[in-house]
Structure 1
Amino acid sequence: MATSNNDPPLILTLKLDQITFEQVNTLRQQYFPPERNFIPAHVTLFHALPGDQESAISQRLQKLCTQTSSIDLSLPTLRFLGNGVAIELVSPKLVQLRQTLAASWSDWLSAQDRQGYRSHITIQNKVAAAAARQVYGQLLEQWQPLQGYGEGLLLWYYQGGPWTLASEFSFTAEATVDP
């Protein structure tokens, strides 16, 4: 994937509903090392899309989001990352949406984005393994599964540390009810 110096890579994340976002972001602010915590809690769908394809990416996202209703999310438990802790996220509809986009963008995907997808929200990272294990154990004892939903997609410019929001796309399709 080649991008010019003028086109920073793009990151695509799921926009969480406000209640879920506040719950997970509070945990991230509490446990993520403050000197490394440049961004709020998020669910990454793609880590590095080509910045020089922003227009095509945005058009694809706009079209997809008009055909997509909100996405139910389950956050059943925690995942130990070795040097951090994440909240597992279960959503077949989100996995399907990501697969659809990955098929559209297969020529653009980085090695990381070609790997298997396991959605999660990182609340601690890049700490000593002992510290991560302690936080994992402490949080696991009191963990209560969460339910939430995704209400859109966020496209970000990656700028070495902090991210800058490029575009927001809302899911606008009406939800269908199975008979």
Structure 2
Amino acid sequence: MIDATTKDVYYYPNCFHKFFPLTLRKLVMSQPSRREIMDGFEAARARTFYFMAKALIDELGEERGREVIRETVREMSKSSGLATKQRYEEEGKENTWENHRAENGPVYSVAWIGGTTKNEPDHKIIEYTYCPLGAAFTRMGKEAEEIGDIYCSVTDDAFWSGFNPDWRVTREKSFSQDGVCRLVWRRD
């Protein structure tokens, strides 16, 4: 068994313990932070989306490829919103903006930087100066950032069209263009 509190740690693999004792010196074990975990998760999601979207654009051409990507993200996100609404109903919760933020806000506070800047009954604004998904697209380069913008421009409004269609979500600012993501909710 590894004891990370000592400078010299001996590890004996089960089947080779008699023949191959291994000395590990100055073993430093560290746990990733919650932000690092979310960054890694969102980076994997960005890479997956980018390569799949890029393949569609390469296969279908720029215009049709982007159209199919938007339609697919819209359908996927609306489906997620409907599933979340159904879960809320099963749990006896209302599908309100406040309940959604209460459940998901803590996740965003771990990895996203920013938050609610306007919180009126029929008008909400959230601004983020850092988003792990947006940052991942940016790290992959300009083309990935542009493809990521397709996802980000559609997903929030589509989710809410399934979760609570009384609300419309508009992305007024984006990381790629403005250095900040500004999402505006308006209730019909």
Larger Rg: 2
Same-fold call, TM cutoff 0.5: no
Structure with a larger share of its residues in helix: 2
TM-score between both structures, scaled by the size of structure 2? 0.24
Q: If the length of structure 1 is used for normalisation, what is the TM-score? A: 0.24
**Which structure is richer in relative contact order (CA contacts within 8 A, separation 6 or more)?**
1
